[in-house]
Structure 1
Amino acid sequence: MFTHLKNIDTAFKHIRQFSICLIIGNVITMCFCIYKSNQVINQAQSRVHILYNGKVLEAVAADRSSNLPVELRDHIKTFHQYFFDLSPDDKAIHANVAKALYLADESAKRQYDNLQESGYYNNVISANISQEISIDSTALEGKQFPYLFTCYATEKLVRSSGTVYRKLVTQGEVRDIQLQTDNNPHGFLIQRWQILANRDTTIQNPKL
């Protein structure tokens, strides 16, 4: 009789151990399924489809921090192009500079006022000069806003007497104003902007 009870007790322990193992296994399986489901959902939510020229294109949404250096450089590039791309037309110059001033603070306005007072823009118009800028590189420093930057660019001035190339170096900071608008799509603002160098490097005379 005691042997029979002992066998029952042993069988009950085995069943209990098996049940505990089965429950733990089910919990682990459920946790894994929940994790994978969330992973699939997040991947699906990060993918968007764009209709372009009648074709459906797939795009992946990413956190802004992963593209922050790209956005900062594009903001700096856009500002410099608006500010330094000039044509011999007063309205065109004012229109471009107005766009640039949406991307920077009063330090850019001071630079514009200084150039205007020195007769720089009048000289561009009277001499029929077309000025274009190309960004060579933009160095970013820091790990948080405001980011310090140094922009290296080349200016090309085309006039009837020849073409002049200038080396341009500017410096400033970029802060996040946390507001994106049509005039400032990145939501950044350049501050403490200054021109460190703007000197002629090459002069090409037209061939006669």
Structure 2
Amino acid sequence: MFTQFKNIDTAFKHIKTFSLFLIAACILVSGFAIYKSFDIIKTNNKRIYILANGKALEAISAERKDNIGVEIRDHVKMFHHWFFTLDPDEKVIQRNMLLALNLADQSAKKSYDNLKEQGYFTNLISANISQEITVDSIDVNLDVYPYYFKCYATQQLIRSTSTLVRHLVTQGYLRSVSRSDNNPHGFLIQRWETVENTDILKP
């Protein structure tokens, strides 16, 4: 009689142990499944589709911090492109300067006003001079905010009879602002200044 009860008690303990193990295994499997589901959803949310010329193109979205260096360099490059790419046409100059000044603070506006007061743009128009710029490299320090940059570029002043080439170096800082159609990267250049602007090749 007692042996029978002892066997029942032992069997109950085995069943209890097995049941606890089974419950733990179910919890682990369920937890892993839930984790993988959220991971897949997160990955799929990073996939976006862009409609271009009637075709859907797949793109991968990313956090801003992952591409901040690329965005800063492109912002600086576009600012210099608009500020220094000029033709002997007053409307072209005004349009390009407006686009450039949307990307920078009063330091760029001050440089523009100084050039205007010196008659720089009037001389470009009267002498039929086109001005072009090629950005060679941009150094960016992402360790400290606002972000410091230094831009190295080659500037060309093109006349009908000759071309003057200049080595241009500028520097400044960038702070984050809201994105807009006029400022798609969401940065604003501040304390911008020209460090060097020397002739490389004289006509």
Fold-level similarity (TM above 0.5): yes
What do residues 118-155 of structure 1 show as CA deviations (whole Å, max 9, x unaligned)? Answer: 22212211111111111101100132531000000011
Q: Do structure 1's residue 141 and structure 2's residue 141 form an aligned pair?
A: yes
Q: Distance in 1 between matches of 2:26 and 2:197?
A: 71
Report which stretch shifted further, 100-109 or 117-126.
117-126
Q: For residues 153-164 of structure 1, what are the structure 2 equivalents within 5 Å?
A: 153-164=153-164
Corresponding residue of 2:18: 18
What do residues 154-193 of structure 1 show as CA deviations (whole Å, max 9, x unaligned)? Answer: 111110221111110000000012x122211122110000
Q: Distance in 2 between matches of 1:176 and 1:89?
A: 33
> Please, which runs of 5 or more residues in structure 1 have no aligned partner?
none
Shift of 1:50: 2.0
Residue identity in the other structure for 2:121:
Y
Q: Distance in 1 between matches of 2:49 and 2:13?
A: 57
* Secondary structure, aligned partner of 1:44: helix
> Please, which runs of 5 or more residues in structure 2 have no aligned partner?
none
* Secondary structure, aligned partner of 1:186: coil
Corresponding residue of 1:194: 193
Residue identity in the other structure for 2:2:
F
Corresponding residue of 1:67: 67
* Secondary structure, aligned partner of 1:59: strand
Identity %: 54
Residue identity in the other structure for 1:155:
Q
Corresponding residue of 2:47: 47
Q: Do structure 1's residue 185 and structure 2's residue 184 form an aligned pair?
A: yes
Shift of 1:95: 1.5
Q: Distance in 2 between matches of 1:137 and 1:155?
A: 13
* Secondary structure, aligned partner of 1:29: helix
Corresponding residue of 1:33: 33
Report which stretch shifted further, 50-59 or 91-100.
50-59
Q: Distance in 1 between matches of 2:180 and 2:161?
A: 42
Corresponding residue of 1:125: 125
Query: Which contiguous aligned blocks of 4+ residues in structure 1 show a shift greater than 3 angstroms?
Result: none
Asked if the contact 2:141/2:149 (under 8 Å) is kept, the reply is: yes
The root-mean-square deviation of aligned C-alpha atoms, in Å, is: 1.2
* Secondary structure, aligned partner of 2:173: strand
Q: Distance in 2 between matches of 1:199 and 1:24?
A: 74
Corresponding residue of 1:175: 175
Asked if the contact 2:69/2:142 (under 8 Å) is kept, the reply is: no
Matched positions, count: 203
Normalising by structure 2, we get a TM-score of 0.96
Residue identity in the other structure for 1:197:
E
Corresponding residue of 2:114: 114
Report which stretch shifted further, 105-114 or 45-54.
45-54
Shift of 1:56: 2.0
What do residues 2-35 of structure 1 show as CA deviations (whole Å, max 9, x unaligned)? Answer: 2111111111110010000000000000000001
